[in-house]
Structure formats: C-alpha cells, structure tokens
C-alpha cells in the first residue's frame, strides 16, 4: 500500500494523474518522491494560487482580463474540480451533475430571500442542500456502475429539470427563474438593521460585484483546489483510484467500495453546489436551464478537455472552454469580414461563409466538434498534450542515450 502512495505522489509531483496500477517505479525512487511530495505539493499550490490571483494581469493581453469572465473561470473551475473527484478519481461518469449546480443556485437564492444577502450563509446552505440532494441521488444511482450509472444520473438530472419547470414552481418559480425582490423577508438583515432592499449579495458588507467578486471566487477556487489535493493524497483518494483501476479486486479483498463512492459522489455534489451558489452570488437569479443535460455535458467536456484525473486539468479545461465560448459566441459576420480583411475579396467572402456556421449562434457546433476531437485524439486532455510535448523533449535525450549505448 505505502509503495503505491509513494509512486502516486511521485507522479503527482510532476502534476500528472496516473492510477497506481499503471506505474511501476522502483522503491527507492518512490521513496524520494514521497519525501519531497508534500513540499512539491505546497509549491504547486503556491504557484496555482499565484497564477489564479494574477489572472487579471496575464490574461489581459488575450482579452480576458475583466472580472465577469474571470469569475466564470473560477466558478466553473470549482465545478470541474468537484466533477473530477468523482469521474477522474473513481472513474464513475456522472451525466447529471448539473442537477447539483442548479440546486445550489436555488438554495442560495432562497437564502438571499429568506435570511440575508450575506454570501456566506447562502453558500453554506447551497453546499448543504446540494450535498443532501447528492446523497439521495447517489444512494440510488451507485447501486449500479458503468453505463447504468451514467444513464441513471442522466435520468435523475432530467427528472429534476422537469420538476423544476412544472410541479416545483412554488419553489423554483418555473420558467421565469427565482429572483430576489425588495419585499423579501430577509429576517437576519432586518434583525441586525442592515439596509434592506439591496439587490446585490455581499460578504459582510463587501459588495461582490466586479473585482471583489472575482477575488472572492478565486479564493474559494484556491481553497477547493487545496481540498482536492488533500483528498487526492489521502487514503480515501487512494481508495478511489483503486476502485477506478479494479473494483472487483477491491471487492474481493473485502473493501466495501460503495461508501467510498458515495462519499466521493456527495463531495463532488457539494463542489457543484458551491459553484451553483457562487453563480447565484455573482448574479442573484436561478433558472432551471442550469440543470439541463447540456450543462452536465459541459462539465464533462471541461474535465476531459483539461485532463481527467489530474489536479490542474479540470481548472484549465474550464477556463479554456469558457474563454472559447466567450469569444466564439461573440463573433458575427461583420467581425469575420474584418478578421479576413487581409484576403482578396472573393476569398474573404468564401472564408466568411465557411467559418460563420461555427461562430455566434453556431458555437455549439464547434463545441460538439471539439468534444469529439478531444475524445478521439487526446483522451488525456490538455495535460496529456503538455506531457507529450515535454516527453518529446526528454524523449529525444533518452533516444540519444539509447543510441549511444547501442553504439558501444
């Protein structure tokens, strides 16, 4: 057991996600990896935190240096991190995670309406409600595995979506969506004599719009990242990896795998609830379309795009996807004509005709194609791509060594 921990940590220190069964490192090397692992973990965390907090500076040149989109990066990063705890660590593909995102949003908006506009209360409640909801759904869905599990979670998500639109209208306000209004009770706000009638959430008086909003989300993202790292390094995380590599063997060895899976499911549901709550904090409005299967598919794509089972991958995937969505859906024909301005006019029209179905309204077409291309050619996502590139450099040196040995 301890050997696998070490091997995995060694892999981790490179930032790669490989299940223990895949790597066969010699013990001494593993030990060295283990000794340095906690330090390199904190180094990774520090670099990550620095990168996230300085995003406004280094993302400005590509036109993403404004709070709205950075907030989205952070929120969907949390969502994908949580999804990765389930899918990446244990291999269980849930197709209904958007249900927890939606539940989190509804829960947060209800707290804004009933108790207080303070984001902290709303987020805690959102996490709790999404956790309970995930416990219920996970308890039933996890009785099966493989595609049964995927289909069951998809069915539950669609069920929640349908209910949110129809019967649960008193709670969800149907298709209009749940909103805060001036006439809400807001018991705590009134009790403490806070100014009533504010339409925007705050964090103990700090308005969460614009830059403060981004930093609020970013700090939560860093906390979520830290927690994911701890989960990954724990025995619990190791259990999940073992379930992924061979669940039968786990069962035969006498481990009850389901409690671990259920715990992972609930934790990832809570992450989704937090993300949903944050969506409500940045814009106090919750609609059922957040629960639709397209939203579930989106988080799967983010995770895959970044790299399933890796620590950094999901966050990168979420950011890349939200960024592409932002730029692709904002293009229109006029913009394309300007973009292809350098071409002769016949060719320019031709290019515009070719490209225009993929942008603006047609952004989903690009999304679908991207989905397919990533799954077909790069199942390990961006992290896999990075490793291949770095492997190419190292591989050249290795190949040269081998050649030298062969020459002797």
Partner 1 sequence: MAETPPARSLEIGRAVLVPTLTQRLAEAPARKVADTSLGKPNGADDAARRCTRIFQTSAEGSLVGSMDAIILQILNGLDKGGAYALIALGLTLIFGTLGVVNFAHGALFMLGAFCAVTFSRLLTISERVRDESVTFFEAYKEIPYLTLWYGDTGQAIVDWAVPLSILLAIPVMVLIGFAMERGLIRFFYKRSHAEQILVTFGLAIVLQEIVKYFFGANPIPMTAPPALAGSADIGALVGASNISYPMWRIVYFLFSLAVISMVFAFLQLTTFGMVVRAGMADRETVGLLGINIGRKFTIVFGIASAVAGLAGVMYTPILAPNYHLGMDFLVLSFVVVVVGGMGSLPGAVLAGFLLGILQSLASMTEIKSIVPGIDQIIIYLVAVVVLLVRPRGLMGRRGVMEA
Rounded least distance, CB 167 to partner 1, Å: 3
Residues 275-294 touching partner 1, rule: CB under 8 A, are: 288-289, 292-293
Give the binding-site size for partner 1 (rule: CB under 8 A).
Answer: 48
Q: Are strands 206-207 and 202-203 parallel, antiparallel or unpaired?
A: antiparallel
Rounded least distance, CB 328 to partner 1, Å: 13
Residues 1-60 touching partner 1, rule: CB under 8 A, are: none
Q: How far is CA 228 from CA 36, 113, 183, 223, in A?
A: 19, 31, 40, 9
- Would you say 236 or 371 has its CB closer to partner 1? 371
Rounded least distance, CB 161 to partner 1, Å: 8
Binding partner 1 by CB under 8 A: which of 304, 318, 359, 382? Answer: 304
Does residue 368 touch partner 1 according to CB under 8 A?
yes
How many Cβ atoms are within 10 Å of 273's Cβ, its own excluded? 33
**Per-residue binding letters, 206-245, with partner 1 (x by CB under 8 A):** ----------------------------------------
**Cα(85)–Cα(263) distance, rounded to whole angstroms?**
10
Binding partner 1 by CB under 8 A: which of 15, 56, 67, 362? Answer: 362
235-245 helix and 67-90 helix, angle to the nearest 10 degrees: 70
Helix (H) or strand (E) holding 285, with range, is strand 285-286
- Would you say 99 or 111 has its CB closer to partner 1? 99
51: helix, strand or coil: helix
- Would you say 58 or 148 has its CB closer to partner 1? 148
Q: Are 220 and 212 in contact (CB under 8 A)?
A: no
190: helix, strand or coil: helix
Q: How far is CA 227 from CA 82, 297, 335, in A?
A: 10, 24, 43
Q: Are 90 and 243 in contact (CB under 8 A)?
A: yes
Q: How far is CA 84 from CA 30, 301, 318, 352, in A?
A: 25, 11, 12, 38
**Per-residue binding letters, 57-76, with partner 1 (x by CB under 8 A):** --------------------
- Would you say 27 or 144 has its CB closer to partner 1? 144
Q: Which residue has the tokens 């707290």?
A: 111
Binding partner 1 by CB under 8 A: which of 372, 394, 395, 402? Answer: 372
Q: Are 225 and 50 in contact (CB under 8 A)?
A: no
Residues 81-140 touching partner 1, rule: CB under 8 A, are: 87, 91, 93, 95, 140
Binding partner 1 by CB under 8 A: which of 1, 57, 376, 404? Answer: 376
What residues contact residue 258 under an 8 Å CB cut-off, 6+ apart? Answer: 142
**Cα(224)–Cα(165) distance, rounded to whole angstroms?**
31
Does residue 249 touch partner 1 according to CB under 8 A?
no
- Would you say 64 or 304 has its CB closer to partner 1? 304
Does residue 146 touch partner 1 according to CB under 8 A?
yes
Binding partner 1 by CB under 8 A: which of 43, 223, 347, 375? Answer: 375
Structure tokens at 124: 């805690």
Rounded least distance, CB 148 to partner 1, Å: 6
Rounded least distance, CB 145 to partner 1, Å: 7
Does residue 324 touch partner 1 according to CB under 8 A?
no
Binding partner 1 by CB under 8 A: which of 46, 147, 171, 399? Answer: 147
Q: For CA atoms 325, 308, 16, 131, give the dihedral sign.
A: positive
Helices (H) and strands (E) in the chain, counts: 19, 4
Q: Count the residues in the chain.
A: 408
Rounded least distance, CB 144 to partner 1, Å: 6
**Cα(110)–Cα(188) distance, rounded to whole angstroms?**
13
Binding partner 1 by CB under 8 A: which of 2, 38, 166, 253? Answer: 166
CA 274, distance to chain mean position in Å, is 11
Rounded least distance, CB 154 to partner 1, Å: 6
The footprint of partner 1 (CB under 8 A) covers 87, 91, 93, 95, 140, 143-148, 150-152, 154-156, 158-159, 162-163, 165-168, 175, 247-248, 288-289, 292-293, 297, 300, 304, 357, 362, 364-365, 367-372, 375-376, 379
């Amino acid at each position: 057991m301890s050997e696998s921990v070490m091997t995995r940590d060694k892999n981790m220190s490179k930032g790669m996600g490989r299940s223990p069964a895949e790597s066969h490192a010699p013990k001494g090397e593993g030990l060295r990896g283990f000794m340095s692992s906690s330090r390199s973990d904190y180094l990774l965390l520090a670099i990550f935190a620095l990168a996230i907090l300085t995003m406004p500076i280094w993302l400005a040149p590509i036109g993403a240096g404004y709070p709205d989109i950075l907030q989205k990066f952070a929120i969907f990063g949390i969502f994908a991190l949580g999804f990765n705890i389930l899918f990446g660590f244990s291999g269980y593909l849930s197709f209904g995670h958007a249900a927890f995102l939606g539940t989190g949003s509804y829960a947060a908006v209800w707290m804004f309406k009933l108790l207080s506009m303070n984001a902290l209360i709303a987020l805690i409640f959102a996490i709790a409600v999404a956790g309970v909801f995930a416990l219920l759904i996970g308890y039933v869905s996890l009785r099966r595995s493989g595609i049964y599990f995927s289909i069951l979670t998809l069915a539950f998500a669609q069920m929640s979506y349908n209910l949110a639109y129809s019967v649960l209208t008193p709670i969800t306000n149907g298709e209009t969506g749940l909103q805060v209004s001036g006439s809400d009770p807001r018991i705590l706000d009134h009790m403490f004599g806070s100014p009533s009638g504010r339409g925007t959430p705050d964090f103990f008086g700090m308005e969460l719009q614009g830059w403060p909003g981004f930093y609020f989300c970013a700090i939560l993202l860093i906390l979520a990242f830290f927690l994911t790292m701890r989960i990954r390094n724990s025995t619990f995380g190791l259990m999940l990896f073992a379930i992924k590599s061979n669940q039968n063997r786990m069962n035969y060895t006498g481990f009850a795998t389901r409690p671990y899976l259920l715990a992972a499911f609930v934790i990832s549901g809570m992450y989704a609830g937090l993300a949903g709550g944050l969506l409500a904090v940045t814009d106090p409005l919750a609609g059922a379309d957040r629960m639709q299967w397209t939203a579930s598919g989106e988080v799967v794509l983010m995770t895959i795009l970044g790299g399933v089972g890796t620590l950094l991958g999901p966050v990168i995937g979420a950011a890349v996807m939200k960024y592409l969505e932002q730029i692709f859906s904002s293009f229109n024909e006029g913009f394309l004509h300007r973009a292809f301005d350098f071409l002769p006019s016949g060719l320019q029209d031709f290019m515009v005709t070719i490209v225009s179905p993929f942008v603006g309204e047609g952004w989903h077409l690009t999304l679908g194609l991207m989905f397919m291309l990533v799954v077909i050619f790069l199942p390990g996502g961006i992290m896999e791509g990075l490793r291949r590139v770095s492997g190419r450099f190292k591989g050249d040196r290795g190949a040269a060594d081998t050649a030298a040995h062969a020459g002797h």
